[in-house]
Amino acid sequence: MPIGRDEAALPQTIAEAREAAEECRACPLWEPATQTVFGKGPDDAPVIFVGEQPGDQEDIAGEPFIGPAGKVFDQALAAAGIDRRQAYVTNAVKHFKFEPRGKRRIHAKPTMGEVKICRWWLNQERRLVRPKLIVALGATAAAAVLGKTVTIKATRSTLIDVDADTRLLVTVHPSYILRLPDAAAKARETEAFEADMALVLRTV
Ligand code: URA
Residues 26-64: tens digit of each pLDDT: 999 999 999 999 999 999 999 999 999 999 999 999 999
Q: Considering the chain, what is the average pLDDT of its residues?
A: 96
Residues 169-182 have a mean pLDDT of: 97
pLDDT on residue 9:
83
Does 53 sit in the ligand 1 pocket, CB within 6 Å? yes
Q: Would the CB of 41 count as within 6 Å of ligand 1?
A: no
Asked whether 39 lines ligand 1 (CB < 6 A), one says no
pLDDT at 120 over 80: yes
Cβ atoms 63, 38 nearer than 8 A? no
pLDDT tens digits, one per residue of 129-159: 999 999 999 999 999 999 999 999 999 999 9
How many angstroms does the Cα of residue 154 sit away from the middle of ligand 1? 22
92 has pLDDT over 80: yes
Sorted by where each starts, the structural domains of the chain and their CATH numbers stand as 7-203 (3.40.470.10)
| 12 burial via Cβ count (<10 Å: 0-12, 13-18, 19+) | exposed
Instruction: Answer yes or no: is the C-beta of 64 below 6 A from any ligand 1 atom.
Output: yes
Q: With pLDDT > 70 as the criterion, what percentage of the chain qualifies? A: 97
Pocket test for ligand 1, best of 52, 77, 84 (most atoms within 8 A of CB): 52
CA distances from 109 to 67, 103, 139, 148 (A): 17, 19, 11, 17
- How high is the pLDDT of residue 174? 98
Say yes or no to pLDDT of 1 above 50.
no
Averaged pLDDT, 195-204: 98
Q: Which is higher by pLDDT, 12 or 1?
A: 12
How far is ligand 1, taken at its centre, from the CA of residue 36, in Å? Answer: 13
Q: Closest ligand 1 atom, CA of 174?
A: 1
pLDDT at 2 over 60: no
Is residue 110 lining ligand 1, measured as CB closer than 6 Å?
no
Give the pLDDT confidence score for residue 4 in this predicted structure. 60
Interacting residues of 99 by C-beta distance below 8 A, sequence separation 6+: 105, 106, 108
Q: Which whole number is the average pLDDT over 101-120? A: 97
